[in-house]
Amino acid sequence: MKNQSVKKRRALWVGGIVVVLVAMGFGTKVVTGEELAASTPVEFSAAEYGATEFPVVQAAVMKNAHDLALVSTALAADAQAAAEEYGVVEGTSFPVFSVSFTAVAGAADSQGIVPFTIDGVPAEVTVRMQTGPAISGTDLRDATGTIHFPDFTNQIEYQDAGAALNEELKVEVLSNIVAADLAGKSITVTGAFQLVNPASYLITPVDVVVN
């Protein structure tokens, strides 16, 4: 009787283990290599981002550009209304305006900043274009209203995206531009600027044509 009881308990114990193992098997999902790759976060590549997104940003800025004289006159009359009409506001940043103009370039400074005097722009407003080697600001990132902070993992990636667009600008647009050679020439510029200082526009170009 004792041996039979032991055998019975052992059978029940083994049976219980089998039930548990079977249940675990039904509850376990086999993950394929493709599914694992899809669920693994892709590391952000600034170089790839710049190469892919710069043509998109460039096309948008050129499509949405307004005459700089028109924008500057509107800003002088009512900055808030002008920002709503012609600008793009990304988050808490200053408004960014896509503009175009044709004017004679002045002498570039040592930082590659080229000044312009433009008909129709108030005399008290300074207009300059940056040509590098250092391109500052996030004008290109914020000009279209389609690139947002939640699109990125963190603030560093968001900043790197802006820098990547600036780097691609230097390759695609500014590589053949020598700032010192522009003085005295008629230049057609399409680009964007952030209204940080109402009396000073620093244009980040996306297209530069020497007439």
Q: What is the pLDDT of residues 146-167, one digit of tens each?
A: 999 999 999 999 999 999 999 9
Type and span of the H or E element at 114: strand 113-116
* Tokens, residue 107: 């002498």
What's the whole-number mean pLDDT along residues 107-128?
97
Is residue 39 a part of any domain in this protein? Answer: no
Quote the pLDDT of residue 171: 97
Assess whether 84 and 14 both reside in one domain. Answer: no
pTM of the model as a whole: 0.80
Assess whether 10 and 63 both reside in one domain. Answer: no
Across 5-19, 53-67, 77-91, 190-204, least confident range: 5-19
As a whole number of Å, the CA-based R_g of the chain is 30
- Taking residue 55's Cβ as centre, other Cβ atoms within 10 Å add up to 12
Quote the pLDDT of residue 101: 99
Spatial distance between the Cα atoms of 17 and 24, rounded to a whole number of angstroms = 11
Is residue 134 a part of any domain in this protein? Answer: yes
Spatial distance between the Cα atoms of 140 and 159, rounded to a whole number of angstroms = 12
What's the whole-number mean pLDDT along residues 22-32?
55
Q: What is the pLDDT of residues 48-60, one digit of tens each?
A: 999 999 999 999 9
Is 36 a residue whose pLDDT tops 50? no
Assess whether 85 and 149 both reside in one domain. Answer: yes
Across 27-36, 44-53, 97-106, 127-136, least confident range: 27-36
Across 33-37, 55-59, 83-87, 194-198, least confident range: 33-37
Type and span of the H or E element at 90: none
Beta bridge partners of 207: 190
Is 192 a residue whose pLDDT tops 90? yes
Spatial distance between the Cα atoms of 141 and 149, rounded to a whole number of angstroms = 10
Residue by residue, DSSP assigns 16-79 as HHHHHHHHHHHHPPPPPHHHHHHHSPPPP-HHHHHHHHHHHHHHHHHHH-EEHHHHHHHHHH-H
Assess whether 48 and 28 both reside in one domain. Answer: no
Assess whether 91 and 195 both reside in one domain. Answer: yes
Assess whether 60 and 159 both reside in one domain. Answer: yes
Is 9 a residue whose pLDDT tops 90? no
Assess whether 83 and 12 both reside in one domain. Answer: no
Number of domains within the chain: 2
Assess whether 113 and 150 both reside in one domain. Answer: yes
Block residue for tokens 């114990």? 13
Assess whether 85 and 27 both reside in one domain. Answer: no
Assess whether 118 and 17 both reside in one domain. Answer: no
What's the whole-number mean pLDDT along residues 103-132?
97
Assess whether 142 and 187 both reside in one domain. Answer: yes
Is residue 38 a part of any domain in this protein? Answer: no
Is 22 a residue whose pLDDT tops 80? no
Q: Which domain holds residue 25?
A: 2-33
- How does the average pLDDT of the chain come out, rounded? 88
Spatial distance between the Cα atoms of 206 and 209, rounded to a whole number of angstroms = 10
Quote the pLDDT of residue 64: 98
Assess whether 15 and 50 both reside in one domain. Answer: no
Percent of the chain with pLDDT over 70: 80
Quote the pLDDT of residue 24: 53
